[in-house]
Structure 1
Amino acid sequence: MTVIDILTRVDTICKKYDVDKQRESNISGDNAFARLYGAFETQIETALKKAEIVTKEKNRASAVAMNAEIRRIKARLAEEVPKLQRLALKRVSFLSLLLYLSQ
Structure 2
Amino acid sequence: GSTSSVRFRRAMMLLASAGGNTVPVIARLVQADEDTVRDVIHRFNEIGLACLNPQWAGGRPRLLSRDDEDFVIQTATTRPSVLGKPFTRWSVRKLVDH
Q: What is the TM-score with the length of structure 2 in the denominator?
A: 0.28
- When Rg is computed on C-alpha atoms for both structures, the one with the higher figure is 2
More helix by share: 1
Q: What is the TM-score with the length of structure 1 in the denominator?
A: 0.27
Q: Which of 1 and 2 has higher RCO (CA within 8 Å, sep 6+)?
A: 1
